[in-house]
Amino acid sequence: METSEQPGQVLLINKPLRWTSFDVVKKLRYKLKIKKIGHAGTLDPLATGLLIICTGKMTKSIESFMGMEKEYTGSLILGQTTPSFDLETEVSAAVDVSHLTEKQIHEACLPFIGTIQQTPPVHSAIWVNGQRAYDLARQGKEVEMKQREVEISAFEVTTIALPRIDFRVVCSKGTYIRSLARDFGEALGVGAHLSALCRTRIGTFTLANAQSMDEIEPRLPAQ
């Protein structure tokens, strides 16, 4: 059990698909028998990849970790939209995308590189009038999401297999990749939704050095 004299630790976890970031924290809190534990940046349940977990005194570093540059790889489907901008909600009927050329798709990335204004998804954990935006959305209430300034230093399409494209993004804290997918689809005039997402880096911490929950659990103290 961790004591007040112990400095705590930083754990790099490869978050499983469909787990919330809090699910990981809750599991590790139970296994480690500690109260002071938190994560440095939420990943959506449908995303996988690097999640930094801090325990003990290292929880004081959470804010600095959250402010670090992040890298993601993922896939989006062109010609189909959803209210949540990903697969959490129902997909619309498909729009024909066969007219799109590789040149058009690659060039559509360019306006999103640099400092941009982005509107977060309504289906997000942002607080609006004392409630989570996604709770209000699920209640059928109208939610006005304010634009925010984010920095995207790299956005490139790595594979085109219409209607799916694969991409890589390097961005600042506060960037919603779901919103980027939605806006990218709108820029091409066909709409889009995020179909897969993996966080591969936070600052100098990389997914290559992270452990899955199956890998880390046997190394944790037994109950």
Just list the catalytic residues. Answer: 44
36 exposure class (CB count in 10 Å sphere: 0-12, 13-18, 19+): middle
CA distances (Å), origin 154, targets 47, 99, 151:
19, 26, 9
Q: Is the dihedral of CA 90, 96, 101, 107 positive or negative?
A: negative
Query: Contact at 8 Å (CB) between 168 and 154?
Result: yes
Query: Contact at 8 Å (CB) between 122 and 137?
Result: yes
78 backbone dihedrals φ, ψ, rounded to 5°: -80, 145
